[in-house]
Structure 1
Amino acid sequence: MTKPESAGDQYDVVIGGASLAGCAAAILLARRGVRVALLERRSDPEAYKALCTHSLQAHAYPVLHELGLVTALEKAGAVRNAARWHTRWGWIEPKAAPGGPVLPYGYNIRRSVLDPLIRRRAADTPGVELLLGHQVTGLVKEGGRIAGVRAWTPEGEREIRARLVVGADGKDSAVAKFAGVAATTYENGRFGYLAHYRDLPLPRGISHTWFLEPDMAYAFVNDDGVTVMAVLPDKKRLPDFREDLEGSFLDFVRRLPEAPPIESAERITQFTGSVNYPLVTREATAPGLALIGDAALTGDPLWGVGCGWALESAKWLAQAVAPAVRARGDVDKSLLVYARRHRRQLRGHQAMAVDFAKSRRFNPMEQLIFSAAARDARMARHTHRFASRLIGPLRFVNPVVLARASAINLRHRRNRRTIGASGRLSRAKP
């Protein structure tokens, strides 16, 4: 898959990291006439990220379509990611309105399938040079801005220059560290473990999420009959998991409402997880530099939005910088456009995730909306749109929605009182 190195080692853009964000950015930039060097520290073209929700939420669908991956994903067995969510008020089960369109969807697919697929697509894109076994070891700086990278390769160190350097190398981004971009970290009050199971039956064959306040769990249906089962407990439970990981994991799952019969399924992977997974936010740009995916913003894995944000940020970057890079325009000015869009689209979501990562119970506003969503189909669809990141926090909790949720819950309480009074009258008859 690796193409021959070009003379001069000069490109328009060099990207560090050939996973989802890096490959998507390389494809979208190259299609806009930009010459891209795509560096990947691993030499294996089939390499993939293991610790992941393996979910592409509905907000990522337009990017998948632009990349030309929708048909390939469905051929690979990707599952459209319908889901239901357990709350203390009952299940939220989003369904299409009668006579209305289907609910927006994305895909669940294992990274062992997805990563090689998009990497092959990048390698086959004219204008992209995929350089496997290239690990970024430093940055080239000229005139106060970044002008390239230094990379270790099997043949020795190599310097690659470009008008723009892109860090797509994850939450512990080496590119960001070499550039001196500070990271703001927020503690996550939960830890998490997951494993892949084959033939794990779930009601309606769709994914499930459990809001247990403060504990969390999810079961995401994936390709080839495999389900990703994950538990995300409060850190106060950590000593039990350290003493007996498998036993604690299984006991946690067994106690879930409508628990999937995990003993009947075949576990096909080891348990994978993290006892400390902070949320990370960085400025998305610096002179000559852009960060995309987890390198710019790492959310809480319980929401399953990381893959989609990786793809979206790659698209936003390509749209913002391609004309300037291609036409020798003002790259740093175009980076400001990208930075503003990244901040506008994601910081509100991140702020809510940071607050919920404190491992707390639902706050009053969340109680209002989630309880209403468990009782009303229209409110369930609204919640689905937010969970899929098709709308932002301000639309999710706007005054009209809060008023509607209040009315739904008030009507529910009145109905319960009426039913209760009817029952008492019936029992009181001689």
Structure 2
Amino acid sequence: MSNAYDVIINGASVAGCTAALLYARQGARVALLERRSDMDAHKVLCTHYIQASAYAVMAETGLDKVLEKAGALPNTAHYWTRWGWIKPPHDGDSAHGYSVRRATLDPLLRRLAADTEGVDLKLGHAVNELLFEDGRVVGVAGTAGEEAFSLRARLVVGADGKESTVARLAGTPAEMAENGRFSYFAYFRGLPRQAGDAARVYYLEPDNAYVMPMEDDVTVIAAIVSKQRLGEFKADLEGAYLNFIRSLPEAPDIDSAERISKIIGTVNYPLISREPSGSGYALIGDAALASDPLAAVGCAWAMQSAQWLVSESAAAVTGGGEGLDAALESYSVRHGAETGPHHHLIADYAAARPFNEIEEFSFSAAARDPLMAAHFHSFGSRLMTVEEFLSPEVVAHMERVNGHGLSEEVLRQLTGEDVTGTGDEAAENEYAGATR
């Protein structure tokens, strides 16, 4: 291909490859740039859990079938709380994503993109400059090995992670929230699976953990711990990590399994959000929003933000660029509507605090009632809005399950009204009948 494209995407990981696939299938000429030269390069720090909210995108791209062939596990989760386990009902027809190592996911997705007509994958291409005309981004420049390159396109997409080069060069402001936890994880082979293929997520208030089965009889176990305990882990990482995992309720039997990796992690992972588009460019995946890894939304939102961008802008990109500014604005609005309320709750919980009243109310109801367990899991899978999760009918059902209601102050916050109840028995029964 020449050096002129419809779209240039910087970053050939989950978000970038998904966008490249979808743009090319709409007839766009796509340059997909990746600074690393290895086709099998992959992200190391990841929760390995693709939420069910991204299933439609995976089905559209064909990634679902590729992942199943590679052994990725259709996922669900059980959640430990001080009220007991939340165990959502699950069958083969339930909405799901996939649990898969990034060492498997990234190369598969990159090859899927590279094999798509219209995608020009350029490995070993590092972007270090944006090209501007009249204040608008019109291309990129950088180096490939010792050679310089320059490419032009109607749209430049930053799919280059939380430290996005495109965002930095475009001068996109970032909002940052402190993460009150740090994370360490390791891979084990041959670990007995206590809940089948379901992940086990622990809410220890304020600490957290997860045990996640994946392909090839491998399980990743993560300790996600309040920074108040950072000194303990710095003093003896191996001992602190293993002791933390052994102390979990109904702990996984790590001593009967083979640990096949070193202990991997980070002590500082702030949450970063940026405006998703500007003049001639857009941001997707972690470049637009890097939320708390504990929520395991990164891979799903990477795929979904790519799909949102393509659906809003493909016609403008392939049609000569007319209407592109309006399309990018529509993408920004959609991105904010889809992720903003969820991210607000995630960022608030990332402060590493105990549960607030609403969390206690919803978690305890989910531990006591299968209907609420399914509702809780659907919300955690990002299959519903915050408003749907705490609708009046749902809150009324939680009241009945828990045997008590929320405080008047919290109800006022939820409803915006001066009320002393959330709903009547008829409303609760209507909800229960509609969702069974």
TM-score, normalisation: structure 2: 0.91
Distance 2:259 2:313 in 1: 45
Aligned residues: 403
Task: Indicate which of 191, 199, 203 corresponds to 1:200.
Answer: 191
Partner of 1:304: 296
Residue 388 of structure 1 and its aligned partner are, at CA, apart by 0.5
Question: In the TM superposition, what whole-angstrom CA distance separates every residue of 1:231-266 from its partner, at most 9, and x where no partner exists?
Answer: 101001100100111100011011100000111111
Three-state SS of the structure 2 residue aligned to 1:149 is strand
Question: In the TM superposition, what whole-angstrom CA distance separates every residue of 1:170-207 from its partner, at most 9, and x where no partner exists?
Answer: 00101100000011110000000011111112312221
Residue 406 of structure 1 and its aligned partner are, at CA, apart by 1.0
Task: Indicate which of 51, 56, 75 corresponds to 1:81.
Answer: 75
Distance 2:265 2:388 in 1: 33
- Report the AA paired with residue 109 of structure 1: V
Residue 155 of structure 1 and its aligned partner are, at CA, apart by 4.3
Residue 302 of structure 1 and its aligned partner are, at CA, apart by 0.7
Does 2:342 align with 1:332? no
Partner of 1:167: 158
Matches within 5 A, 1:123-142: 123-142=114-133
Partner of 1:110: 101
- Report the AA paired with residue 386 of structure 1: F
Three-state SS of the structure 2 residue aligned to 1:178 is helix
Partner of 2:44: 50
- Report the AA paired with residue 366 of structure 2: A
Partner of 1:186: 177
Question: In the TM superposition, what whole-angstrom CA distance separates every residue of 1:60-104 from its partner, at most 9, and x where no partner exists?
Answer: 1100000011111111000111210000000000004xxx98321
CA RMSD of aligned residues (A): 1.2
- Report the AA paired with residue 384 of structure 2: I
- Report the AA paired with residue 61 of structure 1: Y
Three-state SS of the structure 1 residue aligned to 2:368 is coil
Partner of 1:22: 16
Distance 1:242 1:204 in 2: 32
Does 2:263 align with 1:271? yes
Distance 1:375 1:103 in 2: 21
- Report the AA paired with residue 199 of structure 1: G
Three-state SS of the structure 1 residue aligned to 2:206 is coil
Three-state SS of the structure 1 residue aligned to 2:306 is helix
Question: In the TM superposition, what whole-angstrom CA distance separates every residue of 1:353-381 from its partner, at most 9, and x where no partner exists?
Answer: 11000101111011111100000000000
Residue 307 of structure 1 and its aligned partner are, at CA, apart by 0.2
Task: Indicate which of 351, 370, 373 corresponds to 1:380.
Answer: 373
Distance 1:272 1:136 in 2: 28
Three-state SS of the structure 1 residue aligned to 2:195 is helix
- Report the AA paired with residue 197 of structure 1: F
Residue 402 of structure 1 and its aligned partner are, at CA, apart by 1.3
Distance 2:125 2:273 in 1: 26
Question: In the TM superposition, what whole-angstrom CA distance separates every residue of 1:298-338 from its partner, at most 9, and x where no partner exists?
Answer: 01001111000000000011111100010112211110111
Partner of 1:370: 363
Task: Indicate which of 392, 404, 408 corresponds to 2:401.
Answer: 408
- Report the AA paired with residue 165 of structure 1: V
Q: Say if 1:352 and 1:411 are closer, same or farther in 2 by CA, change over 3 A.
A: closer
| Larger Rg, first or second structure (1 or 2) | 1
Three-state SS of the structure 1 residue aligned to 2:209 is strand
Distance 1:194 1:273 in 2: 6
- Report the AA paired with residue 46 of structure 1: D
Partner of 2:213: 221
Distance 2:53 2:213 in 1: 18
Does 2:224 align with 1:239? no
Task: Indicate which of 149, 153, 169 corresponds to 1:158.
Answer: 149
Does 2:65 align with 1:71? yes
Distance 2:256 2:74 in 1: 24
TM-score, normalisation: structure 1: 0.92
Percent identity between the two aligned chains: 52
Distance 1:376 1:406 in 2: 11
Question: In the TM superposition, what whole-angstrom CA distance separates every residue of 1:96-136 from its partner, at most 9, and x where no partner exists?
Answer: 4xxx9832111001111110001001001000000000011
Partner of 2:54: 60
- Report the AA paired with residue 123 of structure 2: L
Three-state SS of the structure 2 residue aligned to 1:339 is helix
- Report the AA paired with residue 336 of structure 1: E
